Amino acid sequence: MLKDVKTRYAPSPTGYMHIGNLRTALYEYLIAKINNGKFILRIEDTDQERLVEDSVQVIFNALKLVGMNYDEGPYYQSERLDIYAPYAHELVEKGQAYYCFCSKERLEKLKEEQTEKSEFPHYDNNCRYLTKTEIEEKLREGLPYVIRQKMPTEGKTIFEDAVYGQIEVENSELEDQILLKTDGFPTYNFANVIDDHLMEITHVVRGSEYLSSTPKYNLVYQAFGWEVPTYVHLPLILNENGQKLSKRLGDKSFEDLLAEGYLVEAVINFIALLGWNPGGEREFFTLKELETNFTIEGISKSPSVFDKTKLRWMNGEYIRKMSLEEFADLAEEKISSVLGDTLDHKKISVLLQKRVELITDIPDIIRFFLELPEYTLELYNHKKMKTNPEIALESLRLALDLLKELATEDFKEEKLHELLMELAKAKELKNGQLLWPLRVALTGQEQSPGGAIELLDIFGQEESLRRIEIGIDKLVREL
């Protein structure tokens, strides 16, 4: 365990919780937890053109739903804007940064010229070499300025990333970056570094798209003589077409997944494994379990694929882990949306919990309870059950005779089981030859939650007999 670990989740509010951002938050949180450290929340909202009120709410809600409580914050960069300028001026005094008075027009012209020469557009360090007198004069004239960092012109910037290993860039490739804009407000990168330093962040965890700007961040720390945090860059998340996950491509946000019926716990478990290998067979982890099992060493470099089929499967497994009461509560709204208050919802829940992957699938799965769908005789053919339409007709007639005679109060699972087994035996039918046709007649479907006996119990005598008679008529007509 490391000492005094402090991580931060530093989202720029976008209005939805991107899966990649949620993973970043989760890993930040877990790295704090495994080290008994602190997790803080900082809203990076210096880009104040958009109203962020609702977007911030989205972030709070997501963290709350997951149960990732922060120990400090939320800090808002927009409320800290006065903090940054003095640091930029400090670097000017230290000779690590300079005033740049270049006008917009000049910079645009420079860009044009460079583009024409097929050069990568970059600042030409025009103001880096102004003399003290020149600078004072321009300041006196009240010319607007930005503050730029003096990047080293030779050598390399090298840093160690906890996931990607040693990263090197040639300093000559780095532009003299702007730290403070003409309005006196910091650039995004500058505010990010100053805050990480002031908030004593020890581990910076973020998407690998930031890897290429990290040398620039590093040089800011170096210019101040500050300790550089541990960088933990996370692998890309790709969709099933191999593209980077994005809302624009129709990939789902956290909120979308919840609206589709995914359980928070399943999504978190799934996301934890997007880029982290627990190093064993085990795949199921609650947030609490992750808080002790997570490891930085297990984070992988290679992109991970957001496999929706796996998420669905995992969600189903989480449904299976619920108590029947929890599941029945959760399913109730979906069940009654189709069945109103008819039939026994609790019994239907028992069947559903065994096979449903997503709560939102329930209405389609149970529609047959409300209305017998059209079906073809083909459904009565089943090799493994050794049945076909002819056998089905015989079985349904036998079952009908038996079930008609049964007292309504005996029309219960246990009794039905006993009688039908006896019937099969007496008539030398395999159980499947009796039960498969019954299940088809009751559901009109190849698949359904529950078997014939459970379904008879749920439907009750009257509706069961009605459906069996329909089945017999259909067979008689179509055979």
Give the Cα separation of 192 and 43 in Å (integer): 10
Q: Taking the complex as a whole, how short is the minimal distance between the CB of residue 205 and ligand GLU, in angstroms?
A: 7
186 binds ligand GLU (CB under 6 A): no
Per-residue tokens: 132: 């003290």
Q: How many residues bind ligand GLU (CB under 6 A)?
A: 8
Are 146 and 122 a contacting pair, CB within 8 Å?
no
**Long-range CB pairs of 223-226, under 8 A, 24+ apart, other chains included:** 223/91, 223/94, 223/96, 223/97, 223/149, 223/150, 224/87, 224/90, 224/91, 224/96, 224/197, 226/197
Per-residue tokens: 110: 């420079």
Contact with ligand GLU (CB under 6 A) among 30, 37, 40, 44: 44
Are 10 and 39 a contacting pair, CB within 8 Å?
no
**Stretch of 8-16, 111-119, 226-234, 327-335 lying at the interface with ligand GLU (CB under 6 A):** 8-16
**Stretch of 9-17, 369-377, 386-394, 403-411 lying at the interface with ligand GLU (CB under 6 A):** 9-17
Q: Taking the complex as a whole, how short is the minimal distance between the CB of residue 12 and ligand GLU, in angstroms?
A: 4
Give the 3-state secondary structure of residue 441: helix
User: 87 or 98, CB closer to ligand GLU?
Assistant: 87
192 binds ligand GLU (CB under 6 A): yes
Name the DSSP letter for residue 284.
-
Is 247 labeled as catalytic in the residue annotation? yes
218 binds ligand GLU (CB under 6 A): no
Per-residue tokens: 236: 């890309």
Question: What is the pattern of x (binds ligand GLU, CB under 6 A) and - over residues 123-152?
Answer: ------------------------------
11 binds ligand GLU (CB under 6 A): yes
63 binds ligand GLU (CB under 6 A): no
Q: Which of 111, 181, 247, 415 is catalytic?
A: 247
Element (H, E) at 58: helix 53-66
User: 228 or 468, CB closer to ligand GLU?
Assistant: 228
12 binds ligand GLU (CB under 6 A): yes
Contact with ligand GLU (CB under 6 A) among 6, 23, 38, 206: 206
Cβ burial 322-351 (10 Å sphere, 16+ → b, else e): beeeebbebbeebbeebbeeebebebbbbb
Catalytic residues: 247
Name the residues that contact ligand GLU, by CB under 6 A.
10-12, 44, 192, 204, 206, 210
